[in-house]
Structure 1
Amino acid sequence: MTTPTRPAHATAWRNAVFAVFALNGLGAATWAIRIPAIRDHLELSTSFVGYLILGVSVGSIVGLLLASHVIQWLGGRRSIAIMLVVCAGALVVIGVGTSVLGSFAVVVLGMAVYGFGSAICDVAMNVEGAAVEKAIGRTIMPLFHASWSAGTVVGTSIGTALVFAHVDIAAHTIGMAALLLLGAVIAPRAIPRVATHAETGEEVAHVSFRDRMAIWLEPRTLAIGLIALGMAFTEGSANDWLTLGMVDDRGLENGQAAALFTLFTASMMVGRIAGGPLIDRFGRVRMLWITGGAAAVGLALVIFVPVIPVAVAGIVLWGIGASLGFPVAMSAAADDPARAAARVSAVATVGYCAFLVGPPLIGVVGEHVGILNALIIVFVLIVLATLAAPAARPPRVRA
């Protein structure tokens, strides 16, 4: 467990976690912004793009199922460092597999490896974030996720510029992989070496394998997982399909669509920066209702109104609305520090099912009705996630 920290140590720890979130977002944006170009290089149909992204999803699910055990074994610090290296290697495989080898199988393999490494890093950084949040004594998890969004904004901005400059995909991914490797060396240094997912005095080893698996039967954990599922789908659908939807269904060029995706990620970042103080003032449940409603309205505008300025407004609402659901779910899953890693892993696994089921489902449906019309599925999940919001209410502490 993490012992109580001195303020200076807590500050350095907090800043290290900010950096890890940003690096994770930077890596995700690197491959997401290149989906249209990968599609063009490999000459894939819309449904096969879904199967390509499914590689990330399958790798993520495997990583999430193993995450609590890996973190228990290695600790948060080493888990983060190792998995950032894995993600960097996967980006190289994706880029080389696309523009050098032209191999669908190699790119799928790279996607799967990326998903595996990113998922374990995701759980570890959220566990660290929840522990820092408790050490500091105020809601900062949305700020950590804002740092992830900042990483995606940087990544998508770089990617957009490189798309317009016609830079090769392999050169792009290799350059970004180098940044991840540098971050893997520097960022985790301020994270405590001891396991960080139980800050109350309980040693991590006292949480047995059976206890970690029993968490999957807890109704509150599963309800929080539904929030994560709906909002991960809300966010992930933009990552996977916004650019292609605007190109294929609205007639935009690749660079223009990439710029709209950058707007989405920037909107999410703004929502997450503002979210912490708003949650402390109004509570988790009320803010989930507000942001869930914004996401539903925004997505509806994108789907049903074929006017680009209206779609731009919808994308902003969609991004702000998707901003708080997943970080709030992570905070709620970590309310009991003794089992934070197992619960965060379980909730994240349920949430990442959106990435497993979503890409092929939207791809197949989109093949017949258009990508934007297929996003009606996401709209339904937003509604369900918003209805599950009361599960995120902090448990009452008995005197």
Structure 2
Amino acid sequence: MAETLTRRQLLAWRNAIFVVFALSGISIASWVARLPAVRDHLGLDTAQVGILIFAMSAGSVIGLIAAPPVMLRVGARAGMVLSLSIVAGGTVVIGLGTSVFSSAVVVGVGLAAFGFGNGSVDVMMNVEGAAAEKAIGKTLMPLMHAFFSFGTVAGAGLGALASALSIDVAVHLAVIAVIIVVSVLVAIRYVPRGVEADDPGLAAPKEPFRQRLVASLAVWKDVRLLAIGVIMLGMAFAEGSANDWLAIAVVDGYDQSNTTAAIIFGLFTVSMTVGRVAGGPVLDRFGRVPVLRVSALLGFLGILAFIFAPVPWIAYVGAAFWALGCSLGFPVGMSAAADTDDPKQSAARVSAVAIIGYVAFLVGPPVLGVLGNHFGILHALLLVLVLVALAGLFSPAARERSRRVRPTVSA
């Protein structure tokens, strides 16, 4: 069906997925922006905040695992609406747990639901994005992930504004929840039926749950997919480590101020977004493997410069190269995982590599913290250097399996 859509319908489909990516980013940044207020209102210490964050992380992993069978059951369109509705519900519960009930348990329940919804929609929007990418005939996944970044910027900005105006956490997060639900209900109208699990030919007859579960787990036997997972592991580890430790490394490693550290982290996020916006045309021109190799080299040189810079400004340039180098790893890994002739396998394959990426995001920062405590945070980043090099070595696994066929569109 996707190949018979008009150009206008194809672009509307693409734009709808852009919105879904942005909504996920807005939700996450809104929570992060109000985390200090939640902590202060509940009187939590650092360890207790860590437990709350673990509830969200656990929910995210469960959502990643649940996404493939949910997609096979209800389809991508309904699945994305359901997942973002759960995100919105969790967001409201977080606000109520903070401002109304003053209960860390209620906030934890909200965060678990919030994480579940974001984990499941992460798989679904990437599978649907890969389908739109294939139908349109252009590399779009990096730009879709750039919209996630745009969403985080918007969410952080709204959170900062709400905090500056002393808007209650519950009110702020309730407004965000309404924005999420209304926006996804409007956007989803432009996602065509008859794609992936929405297609009755793919969804029926329904297989028993046990068979669907076995089919989802079977993808882990695919050696190529596991190699793509290594790429995801290295690049996601590099991105997640920068999110948590780059600013501290600037302060502790180069004796700079907190303000300077914030500026350098801003440079990193801008460079990451630029890399993703520019990545699509570059990938179309040169292909996944050459681009991943160059990206890994840029990331390797950037991290190397950041660790061993004789003067701070070289470290700052290194941070920009670090961001550019790992900006395409996650979206390209998702595209490569979804690159299969069997649409029913796409969700399970994307879920598998997404789990690897999320594990890197979740496990990487604590590991670096332990290493940094013993060897210093700059030396701890040598682990990131090794994993980025490994991602570069495994880049051939992401090679395109087939040429994209330009869709036949009607006027």
User: Which TM class, normalised by the smaller chain length?
Assistant: 0.7 to 0.9
Give TM-score, length-normalised by structure 2: 0.82
- Deviation per residue, 1:309-333 (Å, 9 max, x gap): 4454333222222211111111111
SS at match of 1:138: coil
Per the alignment, residue 203 of structure 1 pairs with 202
Superposed displacement of residue 272, structure 1? 1.0
Gaps of 5+ in 2: 404-411
Change beyond 3 A, Cα 1:94–1:282 = same
CA distance in 2, matches of 1:261, 1:116: 28
Q: 1:295: which partner in 2?
A: 299
Structure 2 counterpart of 1:80: 80
Question: Does residue 378 of the first structure (1) align with residue 384 of the second (2)?
Answer: yes
Distance 1:38 1:314 in 2: 34
Does the aligned pair in 2 maintain the 1:57–1:115 contact within 8 Å?
yes
Report the Cα distance in structure 2 between the residues aligned to 1:87 and 1:232, rounded to whole angstroms.
Answer: 23
Corresponding residue for 2:395?
389
> Whole-Å Cα distance in 2 between the matches of residues 14 and 164 of structure 1?
35
Q: Deviations over 1:17-49 (max 9, x none)?
A: 11111111222222334556666665534x665
Relative distance call for 1:230 and 1:83 in structure 2 (3 A) is: same
Percent identical: 48
5 Å matches for 1:84-233?
84-97=84-97, 103-160=103-160, 169-196=169-196, 203-205=202-204, 209=212, 210-233=214-237
Distance 1:388 1:366, change over 3 A: same
Q: Secondary structure in 2 aligned to 1:336?
A: coil
What displacement does 1:190 show? 0.8
Contact in 1 for aligned 2:197/2:203 (Cα 8 Å): yes
Q: Residue 141 of structure 1 contacts residue 331 of structure 1 at CA under 8 Å; is this kept in 2? A: yes
Deviates more, 1:227-236 or 1:273-282: 227-236
1:313 aligns with 2:317: yes
How far 1:275 moved relative to its partner?
0.7
Query: 1: CA distance between counterparts of 2:102 and 2:250?
Result: 25
Distance 1:108 1:260 in 2: 32
d(CA) in 2 for partners of 1:336, 1:366: 41
Equivalent residue, structure 2, for 1:349: 355
Task: Give 3-state SS (helix, strand or coil) of 2:401's partner.
Answer: coil
What whole-Å deviation, never above 9, does each CA across 1:268-313 have from its counterpart, x for those lacking one?
Answer: 2211111111111121111111222222333344455596644543
Partner of 1:272: 276
Counterpart Cα distance in 1 of 2:277 and 2:102: 40
C-alpha distance in 2 between matches for 1:366 and 1:99: 36
Q: Which residue identity lines up with residue 83 of structure 1 in the other structure?
A: S
Shift of 1:171: 4.9
Displacement, 1:176?
Answer: 2.7
Other-structure match for 2:290 = 286
Once the two structures are superposed, residues 93-143 of structure 1 have per-residue CA deviations (whole angstroms, 9 ceiling, x without a partner) of 444545666655444433332221111111111111111111111211111
Q: Is the contact between residue 285 and residue 390 of structure 1 (CA under 8 Å) also seen in structure 2?
A: yes
Counterpart-to-counterpart distance in 1, 2:136 and 2:202: 21
Q: CA deviation at 1:65?
A: 1.0
By how many angstroms is 1:353 displaced? Answer: 1.5
CA, structure 1 residues 179+97, in 2 after alignment: closer, same or farther (shift >3 Å)? same
Paired residue type of 2:72: Q
Q: Is residue 99–residue 169 contact of structure 2 (8 Å, CA) maintained in 1?
A: yes
Q: 1:17–1:144: 8 Å Cα contact kept in structure 2?
A: yes
Give the conservation status (yes or no) of the 8 Å contact 1:49–1:363. no
Distance 1:56 1:290, change over 3 A: farther
The alignment status of 1:237 with 2:253, answered yes or no, reads no
Q: Deviations over 1:133-156 (max 9, x none)?
A: 111112111111111122122223
How far apart, CA to CA, are the structure 2 residues paired with 1:175 and 1:241? 31
Equivalent in 343, 364, 371 of residue 358 of structure 1: 364
Match of 1:203, SS?
helix
The more displaced of 211-220 and 259-268 is 259-268
- State the 1:375 CA deviation: 4.0
Deviations, residues 313-360 of structure 1 (Å, cap 9, x unaligned): 333222222211111111111111422112111111222221342344
Give the Cα–Cα distance (whole angstroms) in 2 for the partners of residues 360 and 369 of structure 1: 14
Distance 2:317 2:271 in 1: 10
State the one-letter code of the partner of 1:133.
E
- In the other structure, the counterpart of 2:408 is none
Once the 2 structures are TM-superposed, how far is the Cα of residue 195 of structure 1 from its aligned partner?
4.8
Counterpart Cα distance in 2 of 1:171 and 1:374: 41
Read off the aligned partner of 1:266 and give its amino acid letter.
Answer: V
Q: Distance in 2 between matches of 1:178 and 1:29?
A: 16
Tell me how far apart the structure 1 counterparts of residues 156 and 307 of structure 2 sit (CA, whole Å): 22
CA distance in 2, matches of 1:173, 1:247: 32
Maintained 8 Å contact 1:94/1:107: yes
- Structure ID, larger Rg: 2
**AA aligned opposite 1:381:** L
**CA–CA distance in structure 1, aligned partners of residues 108 and 372 of structure 2:** 21
TM-score (norm 1): 0.85
Change (3 A) 1:30 1:303: farther
What is the identity, as a one-letter code, of the residue corresponding to 2:59?
A: G
Aligned equivalents of 1:373, 1:53: Cα separation in 2? 27
Q: Distance in 1 between matches of 2:195 and 2:184?
A: 18
Pick closer, same or farther for the CA change 1:195–1:279 going to 2, 3 Å.
closer
Question: Matched residues in 2 for 1:170 and 1:376: separation?
Answer: 42
Partners of 1:96 and 1:264 lie apart in 2 by 34
Kept in 2, the 8 Å contact 1:153–1:266? The answer is no
Query: Which of 329, 342, 351 is equivalent to 2:333?
Result: 329
